[in-house]
Structure 1
């Protein structure tokens, strides 16, 4: 069967898996404020059933809505954990295809939901799919990409998420003009389409060469490297260099390591495990996904209602898409560390600014919240309200080119091949369990601590800026095998730098094979083991 050889073509298909997460985020955020949704699943004093677009229904209770939203990341936590086993046994491609099949099942259940319980089950099943795809798509793409393009192509997962958010948001917005349950059933049904496209597209993609090598399928490994990196030339210097490094790495691992989940908790691996886990935890504690899910609540507090709220909310999704582009183009030159530290500092600034504006110029909303929405329990108007909206946009513009793509790129880079699938599955599961907690926590938090929600996330952003500066080493421009050496040698994080120029020269065959910038695995082992 024909296989796509261009790394950007491979990436364009693979990262549709990230788009599934984006579809879920905006299908919920755009539907939350609509009367069709709020009346159909109403738990307040004004319904059910749905009787018309002007019915003043209050929708699910805040803690129940938190549970509905959190069902997806709850399932993603399970899916991410399971994905490590699936990907190591079946391969990266098959694991992602299984995720697509699960997504279709979950979407059917969500689309057909007749009560809150059925909706939660459908979203939980969708979450299992997102967990599998979000954990293994970055692994798959990182193992295929050349070092100088790895950040760009793995970061494309985040760009796919932003496109998924934007596309589904406008689909959901358009469907909000439909009467009754089709206003939310149509978007939840249409979100199956990307999974079908991804399932078919994966048939035309090669398997990960490093997974093939791990299973002693060396001829296929060489064929994939020749296809993707050698432009059809099996004698390409860069193909030979990669084959040599992969052989050495696997030989070293088999001689010196017991490949199991227990190895993740070995003293030599704990530092990397802590870095990978906190990369994913911090990406949630920035507050970005909260802003995506519940942006209509935030703008409701700032005085925006109805279609004006929905349109204003969509602007941040456009900003998210556009501001991710610079990172895709330049993150392999910038490096990962500046993206983490500068991004966290900027986000802390906007969160603290919003907290100050809300505290100084806002006041508690009437009992029951604004527009009968309990979560909109704080109110701010005039110029300060416009400043809150501006800071929210600036927050998104700070996250999109920094933590958004970098948090997906970084974990697959820092773990050795023998445990990469399981390690990334574990770190991604931490992302989803925190997503679950925050999705459940935020609606009642808006009711109970109001503007202080911004203060909480501002403190988290400040803490992650310090943490990443001192403990997160640079991986940009290095081969995955060179990153392994860096950790074994124990170079302090703040002394590591981007190796972009050397990696580009190696890919172009301009470095002598014997002088290429890498150290023999067994020599490194003797230093640290």
Structure 2
């Protein structure tokens, strides 16, 4: 079987790593409240026969701290792996990092599927998290380095779309499997384990498929050129961008620009500390805050804990789970416009519109809860101590859905598209690993922050996130330059020129002009790296275009 070269097929395969990210987000959401899970992982001495369900077992399950550790173990593994992903990707290649992630995912899935105790579950989730850390950091880098600049935003944005699909698919798989082994009355009896082992086993299937196909995916041409494999890089550029035509002006222009950029930066440092030296600190802070602000919108918290919001609005049981599923569907559907138009809209306008809309919905929810809610100490859930009733409760849910619909086409995909565009080839892998580690650090922290925040300050939690979205709007306007429509090498020049961020605009790449010039240059009619003519070819590539 030959190499896979269609950019859309390559994107679909690489973004399987994003789907695994989505799987992990929802791998507990439909399971942790089920009787089977609570009894199996709860303290045996607390297991009793249910008073309201004769013959069934009941247990309050793991303590809040232990359950928090189970949930956060994935983010902990992701944080660690994302930090080291740049070293792996720069040393062995982008494909290898993705392949290694798949191996870690399969190991984690086997451990969770065969789980015997809480410790084993935590270790399994750490392995799953390490996969997610590797893939969430390096899949966007791989796609950005392989994609034509005119559709780069669309292809890299598919990472976020795959995440949304993974969240939705695995939530409904888990919801369906939660009924395995139920009694005649449809309720779990607390005696079975297939209801959670089955989905945790199913989740390894996409990773196995990706493992089998990674060898057929081409390596990043920028990584190949940086590692003195120019001929192979040219072949891949031609196959992916021009149906194999190595004389294509598009291929030659991009090849020339990549070679020139890498040669000019060959004497510069490539370590993590170099991200904060030689003028790189400014763009490093932008990369990190793109991911940090993405977390501080509160979107991932919404994914984890929207059930608490529904409970505050008086919705519980299966209806709450189904209502939860609606937000996942909205997330999937509303990501599509960004994939179609983000290269036309530009990165800055998309981020600014998204943060502005989310600010409106966050303050609206806070106002509705403050104005129409009341303290509710008698809740069965220790986290929920506030309740909204009547039409206001429906308005809270509507604003929550609108919040998801505002995040999905803006900060969701653009936070993955934007960061790999900020750095040149020598530091791109490491910069993406550091920024993704920032994402996971805040993911971990917010996972612990929200339950006590809902318990202690109730609706004021939304005020805090609303203040964050105001701050990010100002930060983006002042500091985030536009990168849409430009080659990765041209983005380098934006930072070097010192042009204020608010003066940058989406635009056509300089490569478009180069292509027109190349069409009229007879000197480029010959393959620039054909065997036996390396010296002449190097002169051609370094000439004016």
Say yes or no: TM over 0.5: yes
Give, in whole Å, the separation in 2 of the partners of 1:506 and 1:39. 66
356, 372, 391: which is aligned to 1:383?
391
Structure 2 unaligned blocks of 5 or more: 182-191, 522-545
469, 491, 508: which is aligned to 1:483?
491
Pairwise CA distance, 1:267: 4.3
Give, in whole Å, the separation in 1 of the partners of 2:153 and 2:180. 41
Asked if the contact 2:250/2:511 (under 8 Å) is kept, the reply is no
Asked if the contact 1:44/1:60 (under 8 Å) is kept, the reply is no
Q: What is the match of residue 111 of structure 1?
A: 113
Pairwise CA distance, 1:55: 5.6
Give, in whole Å, the separation in 1 of the partners of 2:67 and 2:452. 9
Greater shift after overlay, 60-69 or 151-160?
60-69
Q: What is the match of residue 34 of structure 2?
A: 34
Q: What is the match of residue 186 of structure 2?
A: none
Q: Rate the CA distance shift 1:348–1:470 in 2: closer, same or farther, 3 A.
A: same
Q: Rate the CA distance shift 1:461–1:77 in 2: closer, same or farther, 3 A.
A: same
Q: What is the match of residue 211 of structure 2?
A: 199
Q: What is the match of residue 188 of structure 2?
A: none
Which residues of 2 match residues 496-511 of structure 1 at below 5 A?
Answer: 496-500=504-508, 502=509, 505=512, 509-510=515-516
The alignment's TM-score, normalised by the length of structure 2, stands at: 0.89
Give, in whole Å, the separation in 1 of the partners of 2:331 and 2:219. 31
Post-superposition Cα deviations, 1:201-244, rounded to whole Å, max 9, x if no partner, equal 21221000000000000110111001001211110001110111
Q: Rate the CA distance shift 1:45–1:352 in 2: closer, same or farther, 3 A.
A: farther
291, 308, 312: which is aligned to 2:319?
308
Give, in whole Å, the separation in 2 of the partners of 1:466 and 1:293. 27
Asked if the contact 1:73/1:435 (under 8 Å) is kept, the reply is yes
Q: What is the match of residue 291 of structure 2?
A: 280
Give, in whole Å, the separation in 1 of the partners of 2:487 and 2:206. 31
Give, in whole Å, the separation in 2 of the partners of 1:341 and 1:261. 30
Which residues of 2 match residues 33-52 of structure 1 at below 5 A?
Answer: 33-42=33-42, 47=47
Pairwise CA distance, 1:346: 0.8
Asked if the contact 1:154/1:408 (under 8 Å) is kept, the reply is yes
Equivalent residues, number: 509
Q: What is the match of residue 136 of structure 2?
A: 134
Q: Which has the larger radius of gyration?
A: 2
Q: What is the match of residue 123 of structure 2?
A: 121
Q: What is the match of residue 76 of structure 2?
A: 74
Asked if the contact 2:253/2:518 (under 8 Å) is kept, the reply is no
Pairwise CA distance, 1:110: 1.7
Higher relative contact order by CA 8 Å / sep ≥ 6: 1 or 2? 1
1:362 aligns to 2:370 (yes or no): no
Give, in whole Å, the separation in 2 of the partners of 1:238 and 1:381. 61
Give, in whole Å, the separation in 2 of the partners of 1:194 and 1:463. 38
Structure 1 unaligned blocks of 5 or more: 516-529
Post-superposition Cα deviations, 1:276-305, rounded to whole Å, max 9, x if no partner, equal 000010111111111111122221221111
Asked if the contact 2:253/2:511 (under 8 Å) is kept, the reply is no
Pairwise CA distance, 1:378: 2.0
Asked if the contact 2:150/2:343 (under 8 Å) is kept, the reply is yes
Tell me how large the CA RMSD over aligned residues is: 2.1
Give, in whole Å, the separation in 1 of the partners of 2:370 and 2:55. 34
Q: Rate the CA distance shift 1:53–1:115 in 2: closer, same or farther, 3 A.
A: farther
Asked if the contact 2:108/2:127 (under 8 Å) is kept, the reply is yes
Runs of 4+ with deviation above 6 angstroms: 48-54
1:433 aligns to 2:441 (yes or no): yes
Which residues of 2 match residues 367-516 of structure 1 at below 5 A?
Answer: 367=378, 370=379, 372-500=380-508, 502=509, 505=512, 509-510=515-516, 512=518
Q: What is the match of residue 177 of structure 1?
A: 179
Pairwise CA distance, 1:365: 2.6
Q: Rate the CA distance shift 1:210–1:353 in 2: closer, same or farther, 3 A.
A: same
Pairwise CA distance, 1:53: 9.6
Give, in whole Å, the separation in 2 of the partners of 1:431 and 1:462. 19
Give, in whole Å, the separation in 2 of the partners of 1:68 and 1:492. 45
Asked if the contact 2:487/2:511 (under 8 Å) is kept, the reply is no
Classify the secondary structure of the residue corresponding to 1:216: coil
Asked if the contact 1:63/1:443 (under 8 Å) is kept, the reply is no
Asked if the contact 2:363/2:462 (under 8 Å) is kept, the reply is yes
Asked if the contact 1:104/1:192 (under 8 Å) is kept, the reply is yes
1:63 aligns to 2:65 (yes or no): yes
Q: Rate the CA distance shift 1:49–1:408 in 2: closer, same or farther, 3 A.
A: farther
Asked if the contact 2:291/2:435 (under 8 Å) is kept, the reply is yes
Give, in whole Å, the separation in 1 of the partners of 2:2 and 2:166. 28
Classify the secondary structure of the residue corresponding to 1:363: strand
Post-superposition Cα deviations, 1:488-513, rounded to whole Å, max 9, x if no partner, equal 1111100000014x579469x44557
Give, in whole Å, the separation in 2 of the partners of 1:95 and 1:62. 35
